[in-house]
Each structure stands twice: as C-alpha cells, then as structure tokens.
Structure 1
C-alpha cells in the first residue's frame, strides 16, 4: 500500500475513490492494535463538504468491500465511511487472534476515533449515522445506548440481537460458555459454518461478489469462548431493553433457511440468523424503531440479488429521508 499523506489517508485496496486511514488504538495482551477507517471520496469540489455522513460497521469474520453501498450514499450527498474493526480485514495483524475481543465495550475506542476523523474531515457539526451489519449491528446498538446525543439515526441490517434459537437457549448455555471463557477464553469452539452463506454471495459459486478470502474466509474465523461470552452479554442487555435516543431502521430478509444441507433457496434467504427473532428484539432497542422485511434478501441485504437490493435501497432512502436526516 502506498504511504499515507500528511493527513493520514492513503489509497485503499478497493481502487480509485477509496482511501484508508489507520487508527492507532491502545495495545492489548497480544500487542499492537489498530482499526482502519475507509472513505469513499470520488473527485468533487472540495469546497463543498457534505453535511451528512454514514459510518458502516461490518459483521463477524468480515470487512468492508461493499462498494455499491458507498456509491449509493455518495450519490445522495452523504459522505461514506466504513470501519474495519480491530483484528478484522485491513486491521488484522499477524500476531493477532482474528476478530477476538472479550468485551464489546472495547469497540468504543475505534468508534470514537472514527467519529473524530469524520468530524475532522467534514466539520464539527456534520450529522453522522452509523450502519451496522450482523454483529456490527449489535456493537452499534450497544454503543449508541451508552453514548446518547452523538448521532442522527441508526441503520441495522440483519443485526445479531439474539442467540440463534431463543433467549431461553441463551439462558441455558450462558453459564457453560462463561465458565469456558473464564479459564480458556481463546479456545476455539466447534465450527458450525458449512460455507453456505459464502456460496450464496461469492462470484466463484453463483453469486456476484469478489472479496479477499484472507479477510472473509470460508469457513469463518474460529469462534472463541471469550468472544461468544461477550456477544451473549450484549444479547442479554438487548433482551432487557435499550434506550437508544435516535430513530432506528432494522432491515432483514423475510425468511431464514438454516439447514445442514444445501438448497438453492438459500440464495434468497438469511442462512445465518433467525430473522423472526431479529424483528422481535429490534423493538426493544429504543422508542422509535422501523422494521423492514425484504423479500428474497440474504443475510447481508447489500449482497442480495439486484432486484432485492433495489427494493432495500428504496426502503433505505424512504426511511432516511423521513427520519434520519430531518
């Protein structure tokens, strides 16, 4: 990667218009830690700085590569940024355990650094809206509950708001996971990823998308006990009810298909999470929640078939005009 300019931004792997900035973070038990902030900045009059910005936060075993999403927001006059969290994607270092944290609160550090960088770019009064996918949706929701008054709204796409199965399953399994996490926090739990989700989206297997498989591997990064315990703590907080003080859009597919056997119907379903659970939990995030169900959507709605993406983006435009930027 070419060296960064004086302001810290350098050309990104996504090509023209995309730049990345490394955000130094406090060291942890594995050593140096960083996050990576990507921005989409096509040629434009630099004197015209957008007054609105979106900050995208990816999910588990993932990173930002959804260029169509960036270009969608840019076309509407919204500056687009994306955060590769510590130990993911552009931020992953050789000495680190991929994706590992033992407390979701640690992400406050890179979220604060990202917001500071956006405000340095666009001015102190820019209106910022996070968009969190899957585990990123859980992270953003918990962060917003702890930090009122900083953002204009939240978009959640298939946010992981509850353990697969039910809250009862979480209550039953939490003590066992917590016990393992206490003594062996980085032990890898059995991998249950059959690779079907990747099969639905990868250009190599009938999907549309290409991505760096070092950063988005199949099967996914190993799930470790300490990380899962942290996620389950987040689920428990959501179940008790959050008090997010801005409008929230929760968008997910109309259908889940979770099976140990492949089916072509998986190309039009969420094969990762139970979307009915997501819809029920979403209304516990705050007083103003809109739930949108997108027929034919996959787990990441922005990676669905073209006609499905078009419906999702239309809903996104309608909601953001009515709620987030008013």
Structure 2
C-alpha cells in the first residue's frame, strides 16, 4: 500500500497486477480509507465502483460512510483512472466478465469472511449486478447509483443495436464507435464550470474518453445477459434522478436531471432485478446522484443510510431492556 495521491491523507492505494493484453501490462487499483476509529463490526464493508470514463473520486461520500462505521474501499478497474497506463486505450474491454479478476482480488483483500456491499455507479452498476448474479454469497448487497442496466428506449432498442455493434466491434476493436459526448454533466458538477465538485479532468474528461467499439459491444452483451438472468437473491437499492434531460444543447434544467441515461428504461430494468429491490427517485439529482446539488445529495445520502440500516441491522443487545445496571 502507498498513500493515495488523489484522495489524499487518510487513504491508501494498492495496485493489483492482472497480467497483460495486446497493449501491455494490466493493473487495477484498490483504494482504502484508513479508518480511525475502527469500523463497527456489524456494518458491512463498502466497495465503491465507478462508471464509464470515470474513477473513484468522491472522498466526501467515503468519509460519510466511514463516519457511520463502514470500512470503505474503492476500485479503479483496468484502463480507468489510477489504473490507466501509458499507451493503453482508456475504458477498453471486450467482455465485462474480464473485470472478475480485479473484483475477486479486491474481495480477497477486504476479507473473504467480510463480504461487502458494492456501491456502484452507471456502467459499474451493470458490472456489479452481473458479478452478484454469477458469484452468489460473495457480496452482501448492491447499492446502485444510476446503473446503466438497459439502453435508451429499452430492450427493443438494445436488441436492434446488439448485432450491428458486435460486427462493427470486430472491425474497429479499440477504435471509437461513438462521437465525443457532451460536456453537460461536467458543466453541472465540476468547479471549473461553476459546479461544486473537484476531480481530475484528465481521468474523467468533460466529454468522456473516446468510446471503444468493443466496450460498447461488451456493455450491450452484459445488459442482455442481465435481462436473461434470474432474480438477485440479495438486497438491492437503486438510486436515480427523477427526470432525464438529454439533448445536444445545454440548458440550466440539465443541472438537476440525468443528462446521460433514460431514467424510465433504468427503472424498468431495475424492477426486474429481484424481490428485494428498493428503487428511489431523488428529486433534482444528476446522473451521479452523489454529485448533485446539496439538497439532492443529502436526499440520496439519507436514502442510502436508511437502506443500509434496514438491510443490515445491528444485532440485538445482549442486555434486555429494563435489565441494565445502574
């Protein structure tokens, strides 16, 4: 472990070696909040997972969870954030199950006898849900922050796109398949554009990294596999904005909406995840609900806290009420 240069004092980073691919060595990075005081034993550890063209960056969220007694970790996947090496194509992956290696290594480091809650954003939410489907018992629950569980306009649009995108991916490989994205989310969040938050714009670019063709194909395949899978046998929380505003031109209403995903498709896919799913619309939230204006961020934090308390309650006290010593 070494001190984490991005989150600063009180956080350590551990590099996970993952072999190599055609672009060279592969690594992932596990960050850990060095707790003081010690976490509460009855509260599960929490492992944060970022979205596409993103990295683990929300120190405020990690401090909040640590202050409530959770042992808090974060994972930058291969070719993202702290794990992106020179000469690599940012975000490139040909199958989401490749990430099993770093998730497995992270869970081993946290402790096999301490399965965590995965707190995962956007594409990370899809990856986390697929992991929980394939590896039952390895995590205690899923808290999904605007997860990219389905394409815009729903399953029909995904099914129409999947074959053409797969064929294009075979030709383009790591080359981009989509034009650069909008700056709408960055304009709403980052201090350089008048927002409230600070993060590294080289690791999380305002327009996103160029979107590799193979990565989009892997996401569509993951969404198909998740839709075909059975219900998740664990508690799930899904947080999302109460509205989407997706368009080419920025307007101020986008500051309090999801400018990335269609929340109706998101909710419909979330409802199919299983019988223990709690879905919460957060009024005024952005795509990353925890990078919203203060009122929406506070609502999202309260919803997360309430779900954690309800899903993982403290064991009953050894002393019965009325029998305490004086």
**If the length of structure 1 is used for normalisation, what is the TM-score?**
0.92
Query: Residues 71 and 172 from structure 1, CA distance in 2 versus in 1: closer, same or farther, beyond 3 angstroms?
Result: same
In the aligned structure 2, how far is the partner of 1:164 from the partner of 1:109? 29
The structure 2 residue matched to 1:59, chosen from 32, 46, 51, is 51
What stretches of structure 1 of length at least 5 have no aligned partner? 1-7
Q: Is the 8 A contact 2:44 2:312 kept in 1?
A: no
Moved more, 307-316 or 239-248: 239-248
- Structure 2 residue 30 is matched with structure 1 residue 37: yes
2:69 corresponding residue in structure 1? 77
Query: Residues 323 and 173 from structure 1, CA distance in 2 versus in 1: closer, same or farther, beyond 3 angstroms?
Result: same
2:178 corresponding residue in structure 1? 190
1:88 corresponding residue in structure 2? 80
The structure 1 residue matched to 2:158, chosen from 166, 170, 173, is 170
2:106 corresponding residue in structure 1? 114
Q: Secondary structure at the match of 1:59?
A: coil
The structure 2 residue matched to 1:101, chosen from 77, 85, 93, is 93
1:317 corresponding residue in structure 2? 305
Q: Is the 8 A contact 1:12 1:38 kept in 2?
A: no
In the aligned structure 2, how far is the partner of 1:298 from the partner of 1:45? 33
2:9 corresponding residue in structure 1? 16
Q: Secondary structure at the match of 1:25?
A: strand
1:201 corresponding residue in structure 2? 189
Q: Is the 8 A contact 1:51 1:126 kept in 2?
A: no
Q: In the TM superposition, what is the alpha-carbon distance from 1:50 to its structure 2 partner?
A: 7.5
Q: In the TM superposition, what is the alpha-carbon distance from 1:325 to its structure 2 partner?
A: 4.8
Q: Secondary structure at the match of 1:297?
A: coil
**If the length of structure 2 is used for normalisation, what is the TM-score?**
0.92
1:268 corresponding residue in structure 2? 256
Q: In the TM superposition, what is the alpha-carbon distance from 1:81 to its structure 2 partner?
A: 0.3
In the aligned structure 1, how far is the partner of 2:114 from the partner of 2:42? 8
What stretches of structure 2 of length at least 5 have no aligned partner? 315-326
In the aligned structure 1, how far is the partner of 2:64 from the partner of 2:38? 19
Aligned length: 314
Q: Is the 8 A contact 1:241 1:286 kept in 2?
A: no
Query: Residues 172 and 51 from structure 1, CA distance in 2 versus in 1: closer, same or farther, beyond 3 angstroms?
Result: closer
Q: In the TM superposition, what is the alpha-carbon distance from 1:251 to its structure 2 partner?
A: 0.6
The structure 1 residue matched to 2:149, chosen from 161, 179, 204, is 161
Q: Is the 8 A contact 2:42 2:313 kept in 1?
A: no
In the aligned structure 2, how far is the partner of 1:73 from the partner of 1:239? 31
1:131 corresponding residue in structure 2? 119
CA RMSD of superposed structures (Å): 1.7
Q: In the TM superposition, what is the alpha-carbon distance from 1:148 to its structure 2 partner?
A: 0.3
Q: In the TM superposition, what is the alpha-carbon distance from 1:187 to its structure 2 partner?
A: 2.2
1:291 corresponding residue in structure 2? 279
Q: In the TM superposition, what is the alpha-carbon distance from 1:45 to its structure 2 partner?
A: 5.6
CA offsets 1:238-264 (integer angstroms, 9 cap, x no match)? 222443221100110000000111110
**Structure 1 stretches of at least 4 aligned residues deviating more than 4 Å after TM superposition:** 48-51
CA offsets 1:279-301 (integer angstroms, 9 cap, x no match)? 11012222211100000000001
Moved more, 73-82 or 170-179: 170-179
